Amino acid sequence: MKNSLKNRKTIVIGHKNPDTDSICSAVCYANLKRIITGEDYQPGRAGRVNEETQFVLNYFGMEAPELVENVKTQVLDIEIRPIQGVDKNLSLKKAWNLMQEDNVVTIPAITKKGMLEGLITVGDIAKSYMNVYDSSILSKACTQYSNIVETLEGDIVVGNKNAYFDKGKVLIAAANPDMMEYYISKGDLVILGNRYESQLCAIEMEAACIIVCEGAAVSMTIKKLAQERGCTVMTTPYDTYTAARLVNQSIPISFFMKTEGLITFEEEDYIDEIKDVMASKRHRDFPILDKNGKYKGMISRRNLLGAKGKRLILVDHNERSQAVEGMESAEILEIIDHHRLGTVETIAPVFFRNQPVGCTATIVYQMYQENQVAIEPQIAGLLCSAIISDTLLFRSPTCTDADKKAALALAEIAGIDAEKYASSMFAAGSNLKGKTDGEIFYQDFKKFNVGKVTFGVGQISSLNSEELKELEERMLPYMKKAREEHGVDMMFFMLTNILTESTVLLCEGQGAKQMIATAFRADDDKTNSQEHVVSLPGVVSRKKQLIPSIMLAVQG
């Protein structure tokens, strides 16, 4: 039996520093995929929820998607063999039989609460057979009589099967009764035949247990005497040689199992981090525990070879630098986007839908229609909010007729007035009171690569021109620090005024301002006199206006 990976979940996720489109499209597309396929699709987010998006989620009574900090392959993504845990009092014989039946070489001993106590391996059992010189090993191991009876396929005639043989040695009564007196001690376990005299002698010498072989009957006198003296009596169909050979197999696995320095892994551990540990040890199997320390199953080095990464659907991005951490080890199934083609590489072919529209949510809306899936008011509200956000309520040059039609149709389903709702949403998004410089800067931030040049672009859109002016003073010094942290060549920050449909662009990095001035042909009248600031009237879109111009300038 193996844990099923066929029905494992697929994470639908947007880019780092997610905006409203990234979050809402992930939630709504995961919902659509669940409805169409009946399988497990979960929305995720690769960063914190900004104020605007939180307003949207609160307004429509929706939870934020779970934070997914990275999608590296974990133990829980591979096939864990749920090898049954056993009680530490299990006999070696039974442990061996279980190993043969399940074709395994390691069995875990666990408590009644499911906690791992130790491991017994085929090698441990082999060593137990080689340790044949110690006749006290059965009592040293504190062996339960029920184990002995089970191993010898016998019956208890006198005594309690739940009691333990824990003091004497094991011996075979092969000599005359006269001689037996000299080598039977109190508390011993004596294997003997059907001779009445030998049985009587063993009981009188205060043996703890006698095993009568070859299925011989035990007389009433012997039973009565054994009961009086507290001697356990059992019978076995085996002869004395076989019984003596088998009896050590009744020892509990606790005596030979390893309990110290066990190498265990947790379900949450990353494969990259445990590979080296597994390679450095000669163990065949390693126990897996859940976050509470409970035993879940076993993995071996062979399991790692077939490890499958997490299943992902990317929305609202296709640039590697913008994708969630560890994306290279994941299995990307689909990409739904409206940006330029970037640098995401996939191992296998994927479903890739990229349209020149103003918002990913517009594409998701179209897919609901194409699949004839009714859109619920909450979903409509999220999709509409994403379109309003990405197109700045249809003011952005990225906005298409398809975006506007979709947003108005969705607003009707959601029961909102697009104009009034947009004002509240933008106001919530530009409410920067109590926020740190970093929180503001990364509220909507993306990194880009063009050839050998890397740059980052953040953006804040607001209806409040005074608030945007204040941000100039705060963001310029922070950008220098951010550029050094990211190790990029240039850093830009767009202060976009929705009402005047213009942007004040802050520039950081050698030649950054000059490049922008050239790219937008901004002469001295239009260019802000400050060293790091350029005024860009009519520019509101990062995707359609700013990024293409920067890329052309870099390539030029």
Give the CA radius of gyration of the chain. 37
Same domain, 408 and 371: yes
CA–CA separation, 316 and 337 (whole Å): 5
Q: Do 164 and 220 share a domain, yes or no? A: yes
Q: Is residue 44 part of a domain?
A: yes
Q: Which amino acid is at 108?
A: P
Domain assignment present for residue 150? The answer is yes
Q: 221 and 139 in one domain?
A: yes
Flag whether 333 is in a domain.
Answer: yes
Q: Which domain-ending residue is among 396, 429, 462?
A: 429
CATH of the domain at 320: 3.90.1640.10
pLDDT at 1: 37
Give the residue numbers spanning the domain of 177: 92-255
pLDDT tens per residue across span 218-246? 999 999 999 999 999 999 999 999 999 99
pLDDT of residue 399: 95
99 shares a domain with 247: yes
Which residues, in sequence order, are CB contacts of 520 under 8 Å at separation 6+? 534, 536, 539, 549
305 in a structural domain? no
- Distance CA(553)–CA(556), nearest Å, equals 5
Task: Give burial (CB, 10 Å; 0-12/13-18/19+) of 190.
Answer: buried
245 near 162, Cβ under 8 Å?
A: no
Q: Would 87 be classed as within a structural domain?
A: no
Confirm whether 303 is domain-assigned.
Answer: no
Write out the chain's pLDDT in tens, 556 residues.
344 445 689 999 999 989 999 999 999 999 999 999 999 999 999 999 998 999 999 999 999 999 999 999 999 888 888 888 999 999 999 999 999 998 999 999 999 999 999 999 998 888 877 766 678 999 999 999 999 999 999 999 999 999 999 999 999 987 777 778 788 899 999 999 988 999 999 999 999 999 999 989 999 999 999 999 999 999 999 999 999 999 999 999 999 999 998 999 999 999 988 988 888 887 888 999 998 989 999 998 888 876 778 999 999 999 888 999 999 889 999 999 999 888 788 878 899 999 999 999 999 999 999 999 999 999 999 999 999 999 999 999 999 999 999 999 999 999 999 999 999 999 888 777 778 999 889 988 999 988 889 999 999 988 888 888 888 888 999 999 999 999 999 999 999 998 899 999 999 999 999 999 988 986 544 445 578 999 999 999 998 899 999 999 888 7
- Same domain? For 342 and 424 the reply is yes
H or E element in which residue 466 lies:
helix 465-486
Same domain, 422 and 442: no
Last residue of a domain, one of 383, 409, 429: 429
State the total domains in the chain: 3
Q: Are 448 and 406 members of one domain?
A: no
495 and 398, same structural domain?
Answer: no
Q: Are residues 496 and 464 in the same domain?
A: yes
393 and 373 assigned to the same domain: yes
Q: CATH no. for residue 188?
A: 3.40.1390.20
Domain final residue pick, 429, 451, 468: 429
Residue 207, C-beta contacts closer than 8 angstroms, at least 6 positions apart: 168, 184, 186, 187, 188, 189, 190, 231
Asked if residue 103 and residue 250 are part of one domain, the reply reads yes
Are residues 374 and 332 located together in one domain of the fold? yes
460: its two tokens: 């804040």
Q: Per the domain annotation, does 136 fall within a domain?
A: yes
Side-chain-side CA neighbours of 189 within 13 Å: the count stands at 28
Identify whether 223 is part of a domain.
yes
CB 337 within 8 A of CB 82: no
End-to-end CA distance of the chain: 60
